[in-house]
Amino acid sequence: MKIIMLGAPGAGKGTQAKMLADQYGIPHISTGDIFRANIKAGTELGTKAKTYMDQGLLVPDELVCDLVVDRVQQEDCAKGYILDGFPRTIPQAEALDQALEALGQKIDYAVNVEVPDANIVKRMGGRRACVNCGGTYHVEYLPTKVEGICDRCGGELILRDDDKPETVQKRLNVYHAQTQPLIDYYTAKGALVEVDGTQDIQKVFDDIVEILSK
């Protein structure tokens, strides 16, 4: 099963993608996590990506597309995968489609997690990310057992630089201008499914699984 997670920053794409990856036994591929790992490792890609990420802007398509196209051809993707944070622009979606077509594959579902902007700002302020494994929590909605420490790996939790309120609004503007058009794109392909992302985490998950099992 090949799934794309769509939705605004903070809609819960990563949270659901991780749960779906466990449920279906397929990899969760987050371009944001890939960039953050590169920043941490001090690679050239990381250095380039950081200048855009810190400003709440999208990293240029040419730095993202090849990376994802290579990743989805790795062995662990043979049964499918969940793309989280990619595609984020129409050219990225077209590049992915072209590459998949050449492989005789296609995206099965684009899951749009719908959350109004007003809820997003509150969510992002409370999001905490593990510096070590990329695990994501929320101080109120998904707290860790020990404050500030990742349940999964014991790593330190931080407020991401790009989750500060001034950057969040900018990221939302970028989302509406550049990413939201993908909803029409995947509707036209007959792949779009929608879920109410304002419900609690487990209910959102149950709804997605129900849709995907039809």
Catalytic residues: 13, 88, 127, 160, 171
Q: Find the shortest distance in angstroms from Cβ 98 to ligand ADP.
A: 26
Residue 200 contact partner, candidates ligand ADP, ligand AMP, none, CB within 5 to 8 A by sort of partner:
ligand ADP
Number of other residues whose CB lies within 10 A of the CB of residue 169: 14
Site for ligand AMP contains 35 (CB under 6 A): yes
Residue 141 contact partner, candidates ligand ADP, ligand AMP, none, CB within 5 to 8 A by sort of partner:
ligand ADP
Residue 112 contact partner, candidates ligand AMP, ligand ADP, none, CB within 5 to 8 A by sort of partner:
none
What b-and-e string marks burial along 63-78, b requiring 16 or more CB atoms within 10 Å of the CB?
Answer: ebbebbbebbeeeeee
The stretch near ligand AMP (CB under 6 A) out of 31-39, 40-48, 117-125, 197-205 is: 31-39
| Pair of tokens at residue 58 | 């999208």
Q: Find the shortest distance in angstroms from Cβ 200 to ligand AMP.
A: 21
- List 4, 6, 11, 64, residue binding ligand AMP (CB under 6 A): 64
- List 59, 124, 182, 204, residue binding ligand AMP (CB under 6 A): 59
CA atoms 143, 146, 149, 153: torsion sign = negative
**Backbone conformation region of residue 149, classed left if phi is above 0, alpha if psi is from -120 to 50, else beta:** beta
Nearer to ligand AMP, 26 or 65 (CB): 65
Number of other residues whose CB lies within 10 A of the CB of residue 166: 7
Contacts made by residues 93-98, CB under 8 angstroms, sequence distance 24+: 93/182, 93/185, 93/186, 95/61, 95/65, 95/69, 96/65, 96/68, 96/69
Q: Find the shortest distance in angstroms from Cβ 55 to ligand ADP.
A: 17
Q: Find the shortest distance in angstroms from Cβ 17 to ligand AMP.
A: 10
Nearer to ligand ADP, 2 or 138 (CB): 138
Q: Which residue has the tokens 């992002």?
A: 124
Q: How many residues bind ligand AMP (CB under 6 A)?
A: 16
Burial of residue 161 (number of CB atoms within 10 Å: 0-12, 13-18, 19+) = exposed
Phi, psi of 193 (to 5 degrees): -130, 150
Site for ligand AMP contains 134 (CB under 6 A): no
Q: Find the shortest distance in angstroms from Cβ 31 to ligand AMP.
A: 3
The footprint of ligand AMP (CB under 6 A) covers 9, 31-32, 35, 52-53, 57-59, 64, 85-86, 88, 92, 162, 171
